[in-house]
Structure 1
């Protein structure tokens, strides 16, 4: 209960806002503070020109790529964990950009932070450099540059290619980019069949491009790999599961058969990235 020594006219108090008086203009409102002191509600001051320019640059970059990437403020908001209105405030210059928003926006747009905010790009780099000397993992990592890898056939994957240089630009049918490091021999494959389709994530429907690192990878239970049958030359994409010391190639679709990794099977690459299709 509010007490001030004088009775309060309940007609003048509504939802925490106190009207100056019945005869005062309806828009002339004051915020109710502790001790019943009153202060006018003031408009937020505009951002300094440098910070406003960052917001404008970010918005222009977003507008130039949103159709290509099928991106909207809702998707950005979901990625960061804020409301679409908050995203709009950043892009319109109501609120200044910060590291969290800038790094997430850059990642979604596939562009470096310095395209719209050299200030925050330097701050992210400083954060990463400082963390190198501590045992704390930074919340924001510097963006890795995307690299192009050839999309090849399963026959080529089974035969083994010496390097991505075997498919120079203009010869391979298609090249796809990724920020993941697949090494100098990395390549993309399109998933065949429905054995890796699942009702719950992860799922790799037929036609999904997967990026394969064929060299310098570890075999870890639960990760996804491309394997080749040494006799028939058949290649397959499955999840590797180690159970009681025995390795298995496991499909995500339970209608398909699990294969034990024996002498006739060898793992020839690890899938480290995939692209969502059909959106």
Structure 2
């Protein structure tokens, strides 16, 4: 997609163009990214000339982070697909590319507690893959500084007891490449919602292991979709 250069030669214009492309109001974009509406307004008016949330804004609006930050390239690449379109570490490893993108454009962690979108396990299947992000009505606060792309899930069921119990809040980072024995959130073929298990890598084989021995181990195949690595858990009272 090629846009008029005069329209997009400033970060402020590109942010406005990206927001309008996604169909968001300033408040809706602010809520999704975890900043104030005033901050979005200042960015679009040119009163703020940079933002630590550039990559998060790009991913939320479904545009290319390189274009949003620099104005170079197309606003939407790959026939409309964003970097978050496919996050499976078993297919071309775009997770690493996403992490490198965030590092390249210096996505800084917030100094104060971050607002993290609390989504459903059904929403997690398609989180970040659509050009139009789902509306977020629930948020949790992360005590520590955190990657702006992180989302939260609430544990249900007992397949991961005793380490994880019903009602625990998980913080999930979609930019991290999963490693052996880490806890991962994945979408399984034929399922309309995500699950989370411990990743086991044994030679060339990968498995999803529930911590509760009453549940079976699941073999990972080419249709398994990686959604993120669990980086923290806490409980709300």
Compute the TM-score of the two structures, normalised by the length of structure 2: 0.48
Compute the TM-score of the two structures, normalised by the length of structure 1: 0.41
| Rg comparison, structure with higher value | 1
